[in-house]
Amino acid sequence: MRVLVRIADRIRAALEVTAFAGGWLLILLAFVTCFDVICRKIGVEVPSTKLQEFEWHVHTALFALWMGYNYTINAHPRVDSYTETLSLRGKAWIELFGCLIFALPYMAILCWYSIEFVAFAYNINEQSESGIGLAHRWIVKAVYAAGLWLVLIAILSVMMRLIAFLFGRLPQDEVRLQIGPSKLEV
C-alpha cells in the first residue's frame, strides 16, 4: 500500500509543478488586462477584441492548469454538512464511493469527448466569431481539455491514498489524505 502512496505523491508533485508553472500566467493576465483597460481609458486605439479574447484564453489556461492540483489538496468546492460528524474513516469511505460512482465516470466521459472537441475545432480551423478576433481556437480548447485530463489523474491519485488508508490501514499522516472541510492556512 505504501507503493500507492508513493505513486500518489509523484502524481501530486507533477500536478503541483504544472499548477505552479501555470500560475505565472497570472502575471501575463494581469499585464494584458491592465494594458487593455489603460489603453481604453486614455483613448489609445488597440485591438481590444483580440486583447479581451486573449485575456479569457489566458484565464482558461490558468484555471485548467490548476484544476487537478486543486483536487489533490482538497481546494475544490464541496458540501461537508452531511459528513462533518463522521470519523476520518467514514469520510474516506464516502470520498471513495464518490470518486468511483460520480467523479471518475464523469471525468472519464468528459476526457474521452474532449479529444473529439479539440479535434473538431482543429479540423474546421475554428476561430473567433468576431471578424477581428483570435484565430486557432483549438489551442485554448486543447489546454482546457488537458486540464480535464489533469483532474482525472488527480482523482486517481486521491483514490490511491483512500485505498491505502482504508485497506492498507496506514495512518492518516503517512497517507497525507486531505478530505473533509478545507482548513485555510494563512
What are the pLDDT digits (tens) for 68-107?
999 999 887 776 777 888 898 999 999 999 999 999 999 9
What pLDDT sits at residue 162?
A: 96
pLDDT on residue 83: 80
Quick one: pLDDT at residue 185? 59
CA–CA distance, 28 with 142 (Å, rounded to integer): 19
Closest by CA position to 148, among listed 117, 127, 179, 178: 117
Find all residues with CB under 8 Å of 183, minimum gap 6, and list them. none
Determine if residue 176 is left, alpha or beta; phi over 0 gives left, psi from -120 to 50 gives alpha, anything else beta: left
Least Cα distance to 148 among 98, 111, 102 occurs for: 111
For residues 116-144, one letter each, b for 16 or more C-beta atoms within 10 angstroms of the residue's C-beta and e for the rest, the string is ebbeebeeeebeeeeeeebeebbbbbbbb
Q: Which grid coordinates belong to 165?
A: 488508508
Alpha-carbon distance of 6 to 18, in angstroms, equals: 18
Q: Is the pTM of this model over 0.85?
A: yes
Residue 53 pLDDT level (bands cut at 50, 70, 90):
very high
The alpha carbon of 37 is separated from its chain's Cα centroid by a whole number of angstroms, namely 28
Interval 13-40: pLDDT, tens: 999 999 999 999 999 999 999 998 899 8
